[in-house]
Each structure stands twice: as C-alpha cells, then as structure tokens.
Structure 1
Amino acid sequence: MKRYCLALDLKDNPELIATYEDYHKAVWPEILESIRTSGIIDLSIYRTGNRLMMIMEVADNFSFADKAKADNENPKVQEWETLMWQYQQALPFAQPGEKWVLMDQIFKL
C-alpha cells in the first residue's frame, strides 16, 4: 500500500467553503464508486482556512494516469469535477490545468 498527499485551495469565501463542505457530507454514489474502483483504499480531505489536503492510501497497482483516464471517460465524474471547480482554485504554483498538486514528503517518524 502507498500513501499520497495532495493540496488544493478553495476560493477564500466562507459561504463557498461551507457549501463545498456540505457537498462532501454527501458525496455522490457514482463518485465514491469511481474512487473505490480505481484502487484507492482510503481517502480523507482536511481543511485549514481555504487550503485543502487530501490523503490517499492506494493499492500497489494504483495509477494516477489510469485514474485520470477513467475519470475523463466518466460523465458523472466530469459533472462532479465541474461543480467542485466552482469552489476550488489552483495553488499559485500549480501547472496550467492542474488541480490537486502532489505533495513531497519531507519527514517521517
């Protein structure tokens, strides 16, 4: 099993942040299925201010490329991503078109 941490910002607006959190209290079943079938075993999102951090525990055969391909071919995932982008904004150093940015581990006990 592997662990990945990713970061993304929300638009710095308390109402938008509250709505974003509400959506994540009842994530669409199709999105949950897409996550599970991709090899993601556990996924958590944390927030401080408008900064998000996602922690993913994945199977050894998990592939970001395969997940992206499956997501691009899934209309419900695309609908969810378009909806969520209303609340999200790219990190200042993200590449064009990049949402969640993979974080580098700098310490482990």
Structure 2
Amino acid sequence: MKRYCLALDLKNDPKLIAEYEKWHQPGNGWPEIRENITSSGITDMQIYRTGNRLTMIMETTDDFSFQHQAELAAINPKVQDWEVLMSEYQQPLPWAKEGEKWLLMDQIFQL
C-alpha cells in the first residue's frame, strides 16, 4: 500500500464551496467516477477542507501510478465531463504550474 496527500484550492465563494461539498456527499458523485478511481489502483480516498483549501488522502495499491491514472481518465468521457464540472469550483494553488490542479504534498513528519 502507498499513501499520497494532495492539495488544491476551491474558489473562495461560500456558495461554490457548498455546491462542491454537495457533489461529494454520498450518492451525489457519478458512478463512473468512482469506477475510474478504483480501477486505477486507488483503494481509499478522502478529501478534507479548511476554508477554501482541500487536502486529499489517497491509499493505493503498490503498483499505482499517476501516469496510469491520467491515461485512464483521458480516455473516459465521463471523467472529462466531471473534471470540467469540478473546474467551476476549483482553482490552482498559487505555486501550481500551468494546467496543474491537485498537487502532491511532501510528508514532513511521521510519528
């Protein structure tokens, strides 16, 4: 098992933040998105929010790769539709490069 933490910001608008959270409540996400997530080797995913900052924690199989995940997403029209929809709520971190969304966080402490 591998664990990754990623970060992304939401647009700092209470209405948009509430809508984003609604999309992520049980039963509101699209089944094709969940299928794409699990088929790429992600075994658990959690998203936390404070203010407009999001943190995603992913647990994956040992052979998971972000490249393979991106390849699966690129050929799935529903995933592309979901990404367009989510982009209405998301904004890149200030230090993100052009086109980057979720950024991998560095682990700096472990108990």
**TM-score for both structures, normalised by structure 2:** 0.97
- Between the two proteins, the alignment pairs up a number of residues equal to 109
CA shift, 1:98, in A, is 0.2
- After TM superposition, the structure 1 = structure 2 runs for residues 1-109 of structure 1, keeping only pairs within 5 Å, are 1-25=1-25, 26-109=28-111
SS at match of 2:24: helix
Kindly report the root-mean-square deviation, in angstroms, between the aligned alpha carbons of the 2 structures. 0.4
Distance between the aligned counterparts of 1:70 and 1:37, measured in 2? Answer: 9
Distance 1:62 1:73 in 2: 18
Q: CA deviation at 1:83?
A: 0.2
Amino acid at match of 2:107: Q
Deviating beyond 6 angstroms after TM superposition, the runs of 4 or more aligned structure 1 residues are: none
Query: How far did residue 53 of structure 1 move?
Result: 0.1
In the aligned structure 2, how far is the partner of 1:49 from the partner of 1:100? 16
Alpha-carbon shift at residue 5 of structure 1 (Å): 0.1
For 1:100 and 1:3, the matched residues in 2 are separated by 15
Listed one character per residue, the Cα deviations across residues 33-65 of structure 1 (whole Å, up to 9, x for unaligned) are: 000111000000000000000000000010100
State the identity as a percent. 65
1:106, 1:96 → 2: CA distance? 25
